[in-house]
Every structure is written in structure tokens, then in C-alpha cells.
Structure 1
Amino acid sequence: MNDFNLYSFSVQLLVAAVSAGTPLLLATLGGILNERAGIIQLGAEGIMLMGAVVTCLVYIRTGSLALTLISAVAVTALLGVLHAFLTVTLRANHAMTGLAMTLFGSGLSAYLGKSISGQPLPGKAPLVELPFLKPIPLIGELFSRMDVLTWFSIFLVIVLHLLIHYTSFGLHLKAIGDSPATADVMGIRVQLSRYLYVISGTALIGLAGADLILAYTPSWTEGMTSGKGWIAVALIIFARWNPLRALFCAYLFGALDSLGFRIQLTGSTIPVYFLKMIPYVVTILVLMYLGWRNRNKPSGTPEALGVPYVREQRF
């Protein structure tokens, strides 16, 4: 009986880890695209909130999931255009610009969401049914009924990993992030490329906010990300700018985030505030450990990260 309870607890935790980790994964992948192109992304928190509130507004007003996702991606892509204009064209400080995006997104989302606060959505992200997997222990419970955005995030991890590490696309992206002057000499349009990567990465972060609403917390609450955007920023470093590592990092944090709630269900007397601290404390400890372990190794950080590029400038 105890073994059965332990198995059931583990399966439920894994399923919850995937659900809680998917928004983090999408946000981390978006941040990786930004930062591999040399643009620091500290605006993930505000962008996720904008993606979430637009998803709520459009879905409640129209009932169309397709239009909802398009709207969330389009609005946050516009924020990406603004972020790229400030950092690439005006060469503003990346950290200050990112913080401004967080404050702007947090404030605007709170204003827009007042009229729909607490209202339930007309639906959730559709599930992809795979009944042939159900008889398989663990795999069946985990993969037989995942929603479409979760499958999309896993597919995106594979595609980005292959593109970044095994194609000329990845070489160009590495050149832009490490030495934009060299990339310019090679004929790569650095500023245009940075615009495209920032816009597409920001749209992915917005999609993370949409997933947070559609599959995880199905109603709008002000500040509902609860720091998940900042965790995504930490996971970019944790994953060392690698999409495949980002998958495991996001699901690990998702498991830690869900662990406190699962422990409460067992009747534990541990104060809930300590349980909620688990994922954040572990994230800090892991980053400290990785920093110590890799202190004499290359960090993997794009060499021109946060450095404005002026044509004809040499690094």
C-alpha cells in the first residue's frame, strides 16, 4: 500500500511538474533566443503578464482560442519591437530597458485586467489524446493527455537545439552574440537579425503567459506570475543558454514548485510559507553551486551580451 501511495505521489508530481514547468520552458527558450543574439532579457516578468492578460481579455470576449493565441503573440511581439528599438537602434542599457519592460508590463496588465479579475475562461488549452500510451506505466500517465502548448514547447526545444548546434543558423546566431563585428564582416545583417531574434523571443515569452492562463491558472489575477519571469531569467543561466538543458531545468523547477502543494495534501504540518520557498531557495543554491563548480570553466555566456553594436566597431 505504501509503495502504491509513493508511486501515485510520484506520478502526480511529475504530471504537475510538466504543467508548472511549461510556461517556464517557453519563457526560458524566448530568453535564450534574445541573449544568444546579444540582448539581455530582464523584462520576462512584465511580458508574461501582458501575454496572460491579453489571453484572458480576448478569450473571454471572443471565445476563440486561435484568435486568443494570435493576439497574445502579436501584442507581446510589439513589446519585442519596442525592446529591440531601445536596445539595438538607440543602444540603451539592456538591464535598465528590461527592468522598464517589467514595470511597464506589470502596470499595464494590472490596469487592463481589472474588468476581468477572477472571471473563469470559457475553456482551456486542448489536450492531445494518445490512448495507445495509457497502458504503459508512468509514460501513459505523463504523455497520454498533455495539452497542445506542452507538446509545442517540447517540439520547439528539439527544433531549436538542432538549429543552434547543427546548422548554419546556429553559427550565425553564435556569431551575432559573440562577435557582431565579425558577423557583420561575414555579411550577416546584425541589427536586422537582432530585431528578429528579440521579437520572436519576446513573443515566446508572451506565449508562456498565455500558457500560464490556459493550462495552469485559468483566471486572471494581478501579479499572477509571482516571480516566474525572474525564475525564467535565472533558468537561462542555469541551462547555460542551451534549449535541451532548459527543458530539464524548467521541469525541475516545476516539480519543486508543485512539491509544496503535494506535501500539504499528505497532511504535513510544515508551514505553507516554508513550502512555497522551496523552489526559490533551491534555485539560488543550484546557481551558487554551478557558479562554484564552473568557476574555472567557460561560462557559455555570449561574449557580446549586453554590448551595443555600432557598425565598424571592433571587439
Structure 2
Amino acid sequence: MTDVIREDFDTVGEINDPPRRPRSRANTPWSRFTAYRLAFPSLIVLVLLVAVCVIGPLVYTIDPNAVDPILYRNPPSSEHLLGTDSAGRDVLARLLHGGRVSLLIGLVAAIAATFIGVLLGALAGFFRGRTDALLSRITDVVQAFPTLIVIITLAAFLGPSFGLLIVSMALMEWTGAYRVVRGLTLSLRERDAIQAVTGLGATNWRVISKHVVPSVLGPATVVATLLTAGVILTEAGLSFLGLGVPPPTASWGSMLSEAQSLQILQTAPWLWLPPGIAITLTVLSVNFVGDGLRNAVDPRQES
């Protein structure tokens, strides 16, 4: 009788046990990053673009600012692989040097904006109360002003410059990182680990620097990546309007400014196609890499 009951329980157990799922590959940040199909190819394209812009001018040594009226809008040739512009300057040389400028502005401005957002977001989320209310109202005010209009106004009064672009875009674009970090910090502050460290006598600044900030660096990196693409587009738009990088310094946006003429669009595509393709590839690659990083940081994101 006992054996029969035992067999019955074994049978019920086998029926009620959930089916075992096949083992999947390791759930690592890298596997989640590559699960987004466009992330890894975009990373390769982005690395190649950066490498070409960094190493290219060391190999292709033509002066990007050398003016030669005789070479006025010459089409691509063996001497000038991408032709020359309206001032007789080599387009490929300006494309390579302009890539350095555009990528540097995008990277530095994005890092600066993210740093400001992380710092203020951590302070608002940790201290809460009046600090949170004050910083949140400042954030609302900054977001109320269109970034492009503010930078155009500053450039009109102060004159276009490399430093003005970086500082103004950093001061206008930190709000996204602030909101992400503030929300995460509000959640982290209530965790037992943070409460325990605080109860043991750790100062607020030590808790923020040693425990809060390292915990939000992953999402902040995603924000910085996506912000880089936005800054590059903003710089290109400002340079197209003549309010970006001052001449004769080359940037992808300033190279596109020559394409304002319909005649150039129709008869001299070598003047606007290379910088246009470079901007498109860079922005798309950065955005896709950012999507992959978002998957890597947050496992709940769908691939």
C-alpha cells in the first residue's frame, strides 16, 4: 500500500513539475549587447571612422587649409582623391581633419553634459527635499529653452568659437542625464546596503561617491553615447549656418555649408556627399551602439 501511494506521489510530482527550459547562453553584458543585431556592426563602423579620422591625416599629409584658386572645384582625380572645393582646398584632407573636430566636439560636450547631469542628479536624488525641488525647477527652466536657438543667440553676440560650442551644448544638454540619474538615485537611497553604510557613520559625500555614482555609471554611459550623436548633428547644423567652428578650421558641418547653392548640389556632388555620408554613418552608428549598450545595462530591454 505504501509503495502504491509513493508511486502516486511520484507521478503527481512529475506532472506538476514545470518543464525544464533549455540552457541559454551566458547572460552577460556582452551577450546582451550583441543580441541587438545592429549594435556590433555599428561598433565596428564607429571604430573604423574614428581610426580613419585619427590616423588619416598622418598618412594623407595635404594641408587642408592650403588655398589654390587654380584648383577651383576640380572633380576627383589621382592628385586629389575627392576633388577640391571653391577655394581650391583638398576635400579629402578637410574631411579627415573635419572629422577630428566634429568627433571631438561631440565627445567632449557629451562627456561634460553627462558629468553635470550625473552630479546634479545624484545630489537631487540623495538629499531630496529642497535640494531636489530646486534642481528640478532649474532643469525645467533649461529644458524650456530650445538648444539650437540659445546657441545661435550666443554665437551671434560672442562670435562662433570651438570653446563656445562645447560649453554651450554641455550647459544645455545635461538635463537628460539628470533625470535618469535622479530617478535611479531615489531608488538606490532606499536600499538596505545604502542604509547600512549610512548607519555605520559614512558621510553623505562618501556614500554618493563610493556607492551611488558607480551604480548609475552604466545608464549614464548610455545617455552620453546617445547625446554624442545629438551634439554632432547640432554642430553640423550650426556650422552649416556659419555659426559653428570658425573658418578656416574644417568640420563636417562647415563643409556642408558650401552645398547651399543649387548649382553645387547638381554639378559638384563631391563637395557635399563625403561629409554628408560621414555624418550619417557616425550618427546612425552611435545611436545603434547606444541601443546595444541600453540592452547590456538593462537586461529587461528587449533585443
TM-score by length of 1: 0.31
Higher Cα radius of gyration: 2
TM-score by length of 2: 0.32
